C-alpha cells in the first residue's frame, strides 16, 4: 500500500482556443451577511453556506446543497462560518438577529451553544481563525479585540483599541500569524504585529473597508475593498504596512475579495451594488467584468476554476467558459523530483524514496481520454498512459521525469491538469492519527500557463511542499500567590523558556478526496502528522570562516549524514547551496561533528546551516548561537534539511522563535501591577525572566485576584493564563506625631458587608491600650477570639476570613482599656456572611 501526497497543476489554454465568456449560476436562494461561505480544508468538494438561521452543505463542489443540523435560535442572517480542520463536526458561526452572537456546535449542527453576545458591524465578517493555530479564533465587539484559545468556547479581551469605529473584517497572515489586519467602517485599516496586543492605523478613509484577503502562497500580499469615501480597491505588498489604489476601481463601491490559494495571480472582487464581479488572472494588471444578480457580500476562491459568490439573493457559482482547440496542442513537462522534495522549510521528510506516482487528470476535457507518455532519466523508457485512474511509479533513484500530453483538434476544454505525488513506505500503519494541532496546511500547488504561440510549449514545473516548525514554550511558575502589608514592595518573576528537546522528525502528508484514491486506499480524509523542528538562520555582519558544524543527534545505528550550508541575499525565499559534505556517523547520542571544513561566510548575507539524512534518527531542537574560536566559528545548533542529498536550491522561511506577549485581564484597577515590557523574543534553548512589581501603597487591606494572560506562538500554548493572588494583611500605621494619631477610639463598619468569603474590620486607638477583638454568633457565643495584645496609638485594619462557619448574622466587638485606665472603649457591630 502506498500513501500519496497529490499536487495539482492546471494549464489554461488561450489564444489557440475559441470560447465564451464567464457566467454565474444561482445554486441556492438565501439571505446572509459578512462571508457565509467556507470550504472544507481537507476536501475542497465540500462547501458550506449559511442563510437565515441554517447551515447548508454541498458534497459536489457547490453544485447542490442540503440543509444540515438544526436552526440557530434567534438568527436572521449568518455572518460567517468556521469549520475545524481536524473535525468537521466542530462548527463555529457568527450570526445577526435578535442579538448579535457567536454559537458553536460539536455535533455537526444538531445542537448549538451560544458562546458570546457581541456588538458586531451589521455587514461585517466578525470572526476569523488563526491559520497556524486552528483552535484560536479572534473577534471584535465595538472597540474591543478578543481571542478565544478553545475554538470559540471562552474569550479574553486582548486590547481596547482607540480609533476603532465599527470593525468589519479581521484577517491573519497565513505565514506570519502575529500580523493581523482589521478593516473598519469610518476610519480605515488597522494593523497589529504582536498578535493583537497593540494596534496602529495604516490606512485612512471616510468610508468602509468591508473585506480584506491575504494571499496564501505569497508572503506579505493583501487586498482590500473600499465602500464609500470614494470607493476603490487596494493592494499591499508589505504585510499591510502600506497600501496602493488600483486605478481600475476608482469611484466604484467594492465589497468582497478573495485570492486563489493556488495561483497568486488569480484575484476576484465584487462590486456591492453594480451587479458586477471582476476577475484578474495577472495579479491585478487587467480585469474581466462578469455580470451577476443582487448586491455582493462575499466571493470565495477555491481555485481559478471554482469560484463562489454570496449575493443578497443567495449562493452563486462561476461557470468557466468552455473553449474548443483549433488544432492539436501538445504540452511537454519536465519535473525534477529532487526539487519537489524541497519542502520550503527547515525540515526534511524522513525515509524519502524517490518513487513518484503519476496520474492523468483530463476529466476537464469533456470526458475525452488524453494520450500520456512519460519517461524517467535512468531508464529512458517511454510508456503511454490514459486517464483511467491508472498510476505509475518511477524506479527509486530517478530524479527527473519528462511527460507530455496531446490534446486533439476540436476538443472542448476548460483546462488541463495532471497530478503527481511521492510514495512513503510504512504509512499504512498510521491509519488516521491526528496531532493535537495542525502547524499549517497548504493547498496543492497550482500553476496556470497560457499558450500564446503556435509552437509546442515546454514547461518546467518546480513543485514544493510547505511544512512549518513550532517552538516549545515553557512558563513558570504556573500561579502566583503573594502576602504582605499595605506599603510593602512585593515582587515576583515569571520565566518564559524556549525549551530544547527531542523531535522524531515525523512527516506531514495528505490524501485528497479522489474516487480512485478512496477506492484504492479506503481513506476519506487527510492524514496529518506534524514536526516541531526548527532552523538555524544566520545573518553575517562581517566576513568569517566556518570551520565546523555540530548537531545534536540520537542515532540508533550507523548512518550517513550530509552537512550543508546555504547562502542568500535575503532572509526569505531561495537559498543557493554553498557547501555540502557526506559524513558517516556511528550510533549514539550527542553533538555530532561535520569534521573540519573551510567555508567563507560573507558580510551582509544570510545562511542556513544544518544537515539531512535518510535513515531513521532523532535530533534535538538547538540554540542558534555561534561560538567564537581562534580559527573562525563553530556552529552548534539544529537545522533539518529538505532533501538527501541537499538540492542546488532550497527555499527557507524565517526562523520561528517563540514570542511571549503579556496582557493583564483583571477586575481590579491594574495600577497595582507593574512590569517593564509586554513582549519579547526567546531564542531556542534560552529563557527570559520578567520581573513584576505589586504596587500596594494605594490599596486597602484584603484580597486581590487577577489573571496574567501570556500569548506565545507555541501551537500547544497559544494563550497561557497565570492566576495571581495578592493578600494584604492587617497593618498598623502609627506615629509619634500627635497630629497624625487618632484622637478617639473608633470601630468602623466592616467592608464589604454582606461578605463572602472575607471582610475587613478597621478601628482606631488614640492611646496605648490592651485591646481585645472578638467575633460572636447570633446566640451571643464567642466563636473566635481574634486577638488580645498591647497596642500603640494608630489605625488598625484586620481581615477576617472564616473557613468553617455557615451563612448568617455575626457580631464583632472591640474592648480597649488604656494603660493608665483613663479611657475605656467597648463597642459591637453587626455583619452578614452569605455563602
Residue 526 counted as domain residue: no
Closest-CA residue to 353 (of 309, 394, 316): 394
CATH of the domain at 763: 2.60.40.2550
Question: 454 and 428, same structural domain?
Answer: yes
Q: Verify that 62 and 197 share a domain, yes or no.
A: yes
* Same-domain status, 211 and 314: yes
**Sheet with strand 329-336: strands edge to edge:** 383-385, 371-376, 400-407, 329-336, 457-461
- Listed residues 686, 703, 728: the one ending a domain: 728
**pTM as predicted:** 0.53
Dihedral Cα 362, 363, 364, 365, nearest 10 deg:
60
Task: State the alpha helices, DSSP H only, in 424-481.
Answer: none
From the number of C-beta atoms within 10 Å of its C-beta (0-12, 13-18, 19+), residue 768 rates as middle
- Other beta carbons less than 10 A from residue 197's beta carbon: 19
Do 433 and 478 reside in the same domain of the chain?
no
Q: Is 619 in the same domain as 674?
A: no
Separation between Cα atoms, residue 407 and residue 752, nearest integer Å = 85
Burial group, residue 345, by CB count within 10 angstroms (0-12, 13-18, 19+): buried
Boundary (domain end) residue, out of 598, 629, 652: 652
Asked if residue 665 and residue 644 are part of one domain, the reply reads no
Please indicate, yes or no, whether residues 297 and 228 belong to a single structural domain of this protein: yes
Grid cell digits, residue 794: 494608630
Of 688, 709, 728, which closes a domain?
A: 728
For residue 394, give the DSSP letter. P
What is the residue range of 682's domain? Answer: 473-502+657-728
461 close to 333: Cβ distance less than 8 angstroms: yes
Q: Could you tell me if residue 9 is inside a domain?
A: no
Q: Are residues 615 and 701 in the same domain?
A: no
| Calpha distance 609→349 (Å, rounded) | 17
Say if residues 132 and 178 touch (Cβ distance below 8 Å): no
Q: Determine, yes or no, domain membership for 4.
A: no
Q: How does strand 17-19 pair with strand 323-325?
A: antiparallel
Sequence-distant (≥ 6) Cβ neighbours of residue 39 within 8 angstroms: 46, 47, 48, 300, 302
Dist CA 384 CA 585 (whole Å) = 44
Q: 14 near 451, Cβ under 8 Å? A: yes
- Phi/psi for 666 (5° steps) reads -135, 160
> Does 510 map to a domain?
no
Sequence-distant contacts of 583-587: CB under 8 A, at least 24 apart: 584/558, 584/559, 584/560, 585/553, 585/555, 585/558, 585/559, 585/560, 585/561, 586/555, 586/558, 587/555, 587/556, 587/557, 587/558
**Residue 628 confidence (pLDDT):** 29
- Return the number of other C-beta atoms located less than 10 Å from residue 695's C-beta: 13
Integer angstrom CA distances of residue 385 from 340, 388, 421, 460, 732: 22, 8, 16, 20, 93
Q: Judge if 363 and 489 occupy the same domain.
A: no
Task: Give the pLDDT confidence score for residue 830 in this predicted structure.
Answer: 93
Within this chain, do residues 102 and 212 fall inside the same structural domain, yes or no?
A: yes
Number of domains the chain is built from? 5
109 lies in a domain?
yes
The residue behind cell 493583537 is 196
Separation between Cα atoms, residue 746 and residue 733, nearest integer Å = 15
What pLDDT was estimated at residue 664?
42
User: Are 391 and 251 in the same domain?
Assistant: no
Asked, for residue 315, whether it belongs to a domain, the answer is yes
Cα separation values, 36 from 92, 93, 293, Å: 11, 9, 17
In sequence order, the 6+-apart residues with CB closer than 8 A to the CB of 469 are 345, 346, 347, 439, 531, 532, 533, 534, 535, 656
Q: How many CB atoms lie within 10 A of CB 617?
A: 20
Provide the grid cell at 98: 435578535
CATH number of the CATH domain containing 492: 2.60.40.10
Distance CA 809, CA 776 (A): 9
pLDDT at 609: 72
Which three cell numbers, joined as nine digits, stand for 270?
Answer: 465584487
Q: Which stretches of 281-322 are assigned E, i.e. beta strand?
A: 288-291, 296-303, 306-311, 314-319
Q: How far is CA 625 from the centre of its chain?
A: 28
Contacts of 345 (CB under 8 A, 6+ apart): 466, 467, 468, 469, 535, 642, 651, 652, 653
Is position 11 within any domain?
A: no
Q: Tell which phi-psi region holds residue 779, choosing left (phi > 0), alpha (psi between -120 and 50) or beta.
A: alpha
- CATH number of residue 76's parent domain: 2.130.10.10
State the CB neighbour count (10 A cutoff) for residue 807: 11
The answer on 639 and 719 residing in a single domain is: no
Q: Has residue 220 been placed in a domain?
A: yes
Nearest 5°: phi and psi at 643?
Answer: -150, 160
Residues of the chain below pLDDT 70? 1-20, 217-218, 322-472, 498-542, 544, 551-553, 570-575, 591, 612-672, 675-686, 701, 713-716, 718, 729-740, 787-790, 820-821
Amino acid at each position: 500500500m502506498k500513501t500519496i501526497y497529490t499536487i495539482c497543476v492546471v494549464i489554461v489554454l488561450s489564444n489557440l482556443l475559441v470560447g465564451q465568456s464567464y457566467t454565474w449560476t444561482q445554486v441556492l436562494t438565501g439571505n446572509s451577511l459578512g462571508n457565509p461561505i467556507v470550504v472544507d480544508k481537507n476536501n475542497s468538494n465540500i462547501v458550506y453556506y449559511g442563510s437565515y438561521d441554517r447551515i447548508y452543505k454541498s458534497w459536489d463542489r457547490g453544485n447542490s446543497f442540503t440543509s444540515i443540523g438544526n436552526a440557530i435560535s434567534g438568527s436572521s442572517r449568518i455572518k460567517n462560518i468556521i469549520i475545524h480542520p481536524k473535525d468537521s463536526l466542530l462548527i463555529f458561526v457568527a450570526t445577526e438577529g435578535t442579538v448579535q452572537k457567536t454559537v458553536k456546535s460539536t455535533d455537526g449542527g444538531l445542537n448549538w451553544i451560544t458562546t458570546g453576545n457581541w456588538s458586531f458591524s451589521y455587514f461585517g465578517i466578525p470572526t476569523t481563525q488563526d491559520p497556524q493555530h486552528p483552535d484560536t479564533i479572534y473577534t471584535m465587539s465595538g472597540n474591543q479585540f478578543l481571542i478565544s484559545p478553545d475554538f470559540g468556547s471562552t474569550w479574553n479581551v486582548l486590547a481596547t483599541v482607540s480609533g476603532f469605529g465599527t470593525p468589519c473584517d479581521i484577517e491573519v497572515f497565513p505565514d506570519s500569524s502575529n500580523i493581523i489586519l482589521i478593516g473598519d467602517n469610518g476610519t480605515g485599516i488597522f494593523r497589529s504585529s504582536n498578535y493583537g496586543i497593540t494596534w496602529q492605523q495604516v490606512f485612512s478613509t471616510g468610508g468602509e473597508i468591508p473585506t480584506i484577503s491575504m494571499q496564501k502562497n505569497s508572503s506579505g500580499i493583501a487586498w482590500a475593498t473600499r465602500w464609500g469615501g470614494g470607493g476603490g480597491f487596494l493592494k499591499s505588498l508589505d504585510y499591510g504596512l502600506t497600501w496602493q489604489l488600483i486605478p481600475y476601481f476608482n469611484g466604484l463601491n467594492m465589497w468582497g475579495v478573495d485570492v486563489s490559494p493556488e495561483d497568486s495571480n488569480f484575484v476576484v472582487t465584487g462590486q456591492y451594488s453594480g451587479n458586477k464581479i471582476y476577475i484578474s488572472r495577472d495579479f491585478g494588471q487587467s480585469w474581466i467584468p462578469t455580470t451577476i444578480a443582487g448586491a455582493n457580500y462575499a466571493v470565495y476562491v477555491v481555485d481559478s476554476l471554482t469560484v463562489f459568490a454570496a449575493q443578497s439573493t443567495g449562493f452563486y457559482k462561476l461557470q468557466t467558459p468552455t473553449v474548443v482547440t483549433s488544432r492539436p496542442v501538445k504540452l511537454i513537462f519536465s519535473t525534477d523530483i529532487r526539487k519537489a522534495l524541497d519542502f520550503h522549510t527547515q525540515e526534511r521528510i524522513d525515509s524519502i524514496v524517490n518513487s513518484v506516482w503519476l496520474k492523468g487528470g483530463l476529466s476537464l476535457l469533456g470526458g475525452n481520454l488524453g494520450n500520456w507518455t512519460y519517461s524517467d532519466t535512468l531508464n529512458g523508457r517511454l510508456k503511454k498512459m490514459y486517464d483511467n485512474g491508472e498510476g505509475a511509479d518511477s524506479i527509486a533513484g530517478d530524479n527527473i521525469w519528462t511527460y507530455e500530453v496531446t490534446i486533439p483538434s476540436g476538443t472542448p476544454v476548460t483546462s488541463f491538469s495532471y497530478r503527481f505525488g511521492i510514495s512513503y513506505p510504512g504509512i499504512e500503519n498510521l491509519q488516521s492519527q491526528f496531532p493535537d494541532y495542525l502547524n499549517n496546511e497548504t493547498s496543492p500547488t497550482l500553476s496556470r500557463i497560457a499558450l500564446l504561440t503556435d509552437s509546442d510549449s515546454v514547461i518546467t514545473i518546480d513543485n514544493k511542499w510547505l511544512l512549518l516548525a513550532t517552538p516549545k514554550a515553557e512558563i513558570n511558575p504556573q500561579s502566583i500567590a503573594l502576602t504582605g502589608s499595605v506599603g510593602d514592595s512585593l515582587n515576583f518573576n515569571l520565566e518564559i523558556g524556549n525549551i530544547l528537546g527531542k523531535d522524531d522528525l515525523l512527516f506531514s502528508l495528505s490524501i485528497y478526496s479522489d474516487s480512485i484514491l478512496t477506492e484504492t486506499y479506503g481513506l476519506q480524509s487527510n492524514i496529518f502528522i506534524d514536526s516541531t523542528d526548527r532552523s538555524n538562520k544566520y545573518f553575517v555582519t562581517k566576513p568569517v570562516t566556518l570551520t565546523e558544524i555540530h548537531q545534536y543527534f540520537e542515532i540508533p545505528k550507523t548512518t550517513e549524514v550530509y552537512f550543508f550550508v546555504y547562502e542568500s541575499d535575503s532572509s526569505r525565499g531561495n537559498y543557493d547551496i554553498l557547501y555540502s559534505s557526506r559524513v558517516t556517523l556511528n550510533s549514539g547520542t550527542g553533538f555530532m561533528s561535520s569534521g573540519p571544513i573551510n567555508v567563507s561566510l560573507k558580510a551582509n548575507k544570510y545562511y542556513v546551516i544544518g544537515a539531512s539524512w535518510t535513515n531513521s534518527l532523532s535530533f534535538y531542537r538547538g540554540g542558534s548561537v555561534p561560538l567564537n574560536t581562534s580559527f573562525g566559528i563553530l556552529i552548534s545548533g539544529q537545522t533539518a534539511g529538505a532533501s538527501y542529498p541537499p538540492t542546488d536550491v532550497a527555499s527557507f522561511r524565517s526562523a520561528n522563535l517563540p514570542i511571549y506577549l503579556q496582557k493583564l485581564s483583571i477586575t481590579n484597577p491594574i495600577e497595582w501591577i507593574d512590569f517593564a515590557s509586554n513582549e519579547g523574543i526567546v531564542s531556542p534553548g534560552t529563557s527570559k525572566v520578567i520581573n513584576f512589581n505589586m504596587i500596594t501603597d494605594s490599596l486597602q487591606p484584603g484580597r486581590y485576584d487577577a489573571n496574567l494572560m501570556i500569548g506565545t506562538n507555541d501551537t500547544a500554548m497559544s494563550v497561557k493564563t497565570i492566576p495571581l493572588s495578592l493578600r494584604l494583611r492587617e497593618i498598623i500605621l502609627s506615629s509619634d506625631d500627635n497630629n497624625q494619631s487618632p484622637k478617639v477610639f473608633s470601630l468602623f463598619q466592616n467592608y464589604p458587608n454582606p461578605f463572602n468569603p472575607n471582610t475587613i474590620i478597621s478601628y482606631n486607638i488614640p492611646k496605648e491600650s490592651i485591646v481585645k477583638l472578638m467575633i460572636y454568633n447570633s446566640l451571643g457565643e464567642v466563636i473566635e477570639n481574634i486577638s488580645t495584645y498591647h497596642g500603640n496609638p494608630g489605625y488598625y485594619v484586620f481581615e477576617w476570613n472564616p473557613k468553617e462557619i455557615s451563612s448568617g448574622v455575626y457580631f464583632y466587638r472591640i474592648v480597649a482599656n488604656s494603660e493608665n485606665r483613663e479611657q475605656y472603649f467597648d463597642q459591637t457591630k453587626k455583619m452578614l456572611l452569605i455563602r
